[in-house]
Structure 1
Amino acid sequence: MEGEEASAALAAAPPAIPDDEIEIKFVIIPEGFSHIRKFSPAASVQETKEIVEQDLRIPAANMKMMFDGQEISAGALRDIGFVSGQTNQVELRIVYLEEQHGTPTSYVMPDVISVAVHFGVDIPPKVIEVPIERATMKKPFLGGYRSRKSHIEYHHASSQTDAVKRTDDSRPVKVHREAQTAIVQTRSQQSVREQGTQMPTGHLEMEEGDEVLRPLPYFDSEQLAELRLEKAIDLQRYTRGWFARNSAAAVRAAQAEAAAELAAQEAAQRQEAEERHAREIQRRMHPQTRDDFELLYNELEAWRLQETRRINGEGWEEPERLEALSRLLLKEQKLLQTIDRLRLQANDENREKRIRSTLEMMSAPKRWLMSDCEVSQVHTPFTTRAKELMELYHGLRLPLLTVDERLDVLLHVKWTVKEFDCNLTRDIVELIDREADMLNRGRAESSLIGLRKRAANLFLQFIETPEFNPEAGRFQKVPHELIVRPNVRPIEA
């Protein structure tokens, strides 16, 4: 009946209103349902409430309309401030008078409500028509309470999904034979005393299958005490044997553990000796530090003295002795040349390691100790700048690049250094332009080695300058104020 009355009310609504009339969007508070309707500009507030009463079945006396934060109760719509041609939003609140102590008129939900869904700031809201399904059965009373101010009753509500229809096959079996019939088991037991025994007499003969029981020898208390003593001695003997076996197993385990530990120590000592021997060989084959070269020079000097004593002690003639000493001098010269060549190679490798380590420390994130004793790593603008410059420097040093890849790296470096105008950046830009021109001309890679090395060194000087890389200021050994850098001063126009 309620659905038919709502349909009749909607059918009895006035016809479509022209576009020049006022369109009002009623938002029911606090449910948030919305209802849109057009009205004539000359319509009064009371007429508007009556039309809304016909649409939503809400008594007009219980309506409270709020527009622009103020309650509207009388007057024409055009005088209140409604504008035609756009949607005017009005908050519709359902209130009940204080003097009505009885139960207020129940609110009837319409068959279809309009819900506005907002997706974002720049996206217009979408109005969705939601049909209302009414319950066909009377809902049970679950309790509630009454408001002392408005005398409104609030009832508890519950919802439940539809019950799953079960077939006869899915129902559990409740009646079966095992549940109806008890399981009976038969057990036999031999009693302590025999009953119903019979001694053979003259008129009773033993049948086949009868068991004849004969008494055992009498077991007195003294025999029982001797048996207890014997079993106690056996128990003690077994217990002492168990303790002895446990002690022997513990001793064997300790001996095995000591042997394993001794073997592990010997293996560690052998491993350490082998590593020390390999390290000593590596120090002589590929020296890296000052101590390594000092060791080579000392061993060379010891070898020269030993060979000199050997030659002088051979008892050769003077010409033969001088000739042997000259050969020794030539060998010493070649060895010194080899050591110098290794020193140059070590200097280059150590320089590369030092540069790589410095660049990594410049671009490393800051480590801050937080209040919860956790260490947080944070990248600052200075460390980000240092990391970008480090990647460009590694790109300049990369070998075996194609012409397009090399030109791309040169272009990035050029635009990085052109942010500052000084003699250093101009030299770098000039070298980059020269290499790009030679690459475009098809010059061989071998002819560009010196040019690339010079460009990389100048760019490294650019990275180590605090004016261009603020993070490099932490690695300056000499104060910044005492260093004179004429090539990094800005060139005035």
Structure 2
Amino acid sequence: MEKYGKDKTDEIVTVKIFTQSNQTLTYAFSLSTSVDSLKSYLHQVLNVDKSKIILKHKDEVLEDDQSLKQLGATSLGTFELYLQAEGIKLTKCSFYLPVVDVITVKVKGKTIIVEIENCTRVKPWLGGYRDLSSGKVYHNANAQTDFKPKIYANIVQADRPCQTAIDKAINHVMMDTGVQTGNASDGIRCVSPKAYQRDSMWLHEEKVVQNVIIIQRAFRRVLKHRKRVQAEQKQRPATIKSSVSQLELKQQHYNTLYAMISKWLKKERRSIKDIAADKSTRKTAQMNLLKKEIKFLMEVEKQRLELKYELTKHDDITFLNKTSKPKIFKNKNGKLLTVDTVGNQKARELKDIYLKITSQLLLSKADNRLHSLDDLYNLVCGSKYKYKRDFMDVIEMEKDLIKIQAEAVSLKSIRSRIEQLFRHFIRQPEVNPEVDSYYRPTEKRILNVYTCIRCKRNLAATDFSLESRVNRTNVCANCEWAEKVGHKHIDMAPYRKILKTLRHDELQMAAYHSECFIMQPTEIYRLVTIIWEEKSAISETSQLNVLKLVRWRKEQHWSPWNCVLLTRDEAKVHLEIEDSLEDYYDVKFISWVNNKHFTAKLQFANLVQVVKNRSKKKSIGLTKNWQVVADNFSIRI
């Protein structure tokens, strides 16, 4: 509320205005306040025409140009005025009329004006009681602090109508003997005491012992179930743990770890450069930093190799489970028949020996390990494996080392060699006849072989990374991984997320021939970093977690030359454009985006050629017989 004529540097006076309805309006004004300002204040508070307001002091009508100081008001004092209004009765104010008292308080030589406001509010119902002898009703009073009632469903629960509930008698009918219930009208229940009962009689009549036995049985059954579950959890095979780790720890997570180590290393090197010390101190700090980096990298690489071993082991178990599974087919009557062939039995024998060889429990016990090696030796001896002689020599070597009680460290390398040979052994058709049934009929086991220019190994085409920019297979995937870890340290997780979101959006639009399904995360990385410079085209936001690739022209399929990098909110607004883009964007901005698209065509030239070849194949018409089939089934080509 505005305070008329009030100034921090002016002297203050308390003005009490008495109305015709015996109401008092108190407020603080400065001594220089005029009568006209008082009428303006009353016009705002009382909502009364200013021309009809008359102020009197000692039965004298006041003029508008008179000030409170001229009328005899003193500083920090009280001044009384009377209010009259022609033709209006102020029995009720037009709206809320505050009743304010103003007092002056002196604190440490300073004079402070305090306004006391008594606001009208609904009286809360706080309960009470009635004196039975005198019949008087007493209500509980509340403190001066305003009560804050709880509001539920637009109802103040502190009010009396909300807290005073209507008592209703509830009649609980009991069918037991010796229990009486009253009528529903009076709500009174009369209970009669039972006859005295001894403990022996109580145990016999109430069947306490029988009920205790039932509870004990149920409790013991629950304990037994819990023990059985705990034992099963301890005896779970290692394959389940490896499958869990396969889902939780993937290769891309290690890329993220290496990228984090790279960022930490750059930060530490900057801090070493900022050290105000001599050259020898800086060299010592750099040497300690290099040791820490080597320690971190060795620890991450150790865990990665352990994960790789567990995944390989899990793949072997899956392969043996599928090859040892009996064949199931239906007969003429529709019944399922199960046939266990000789190949399934051989695969089951290989599976049992593999679990014994790779089990950690048997590795610690020498006798069990020797029995497992004897079974493996007899199996290899009776086969036509081309590396049979080498395999048998390695088994004999481990048996000799176990007999002389060699340490586990000495046996680690030879045991890994045995597992590697056995992994190759179980996948040979002359050893496991069900190998051919494991692979799909369309899957070629004899692939094209290429030579890696770095590691000089002859590898299959599936061991090389396939991208749109690659014309031929030069560097294998393993060498590329070593290059990324040793030099680049690129975290591909944000770009995988962008590609996943892009593919999901294209599937929602039923664009199954979009180029995003051909592209790989590394290509999305080049598109975002080289073409769009990792910034939004509109707001230039560089946070990868909020950026996404969308179509530039909505009616065309997504491609690197028909896309734009925007934030989620910007992409939502961009995709809602129905008219021409020239009506919404500036000409310079559209030409800038077109230049980006031209650069993308140069970067992904091979992908452009693939799209052209695919469009040419679509233009080739169907033969006569296939056209008849398409017409019968209403297939549009």
Q: Do the structures match in fold with TM over 0.5?
A: no
TM-score (normalizing by structure 2) = 0.27
Q: TM-score, normalised by structure 1?
A: 0.34
Q: RCO higher in 1 or 2 (8 Å CA, sep ≥ 6)?
A: 1
Between structure 1 and structure 2, the one with the greater Rg is 1
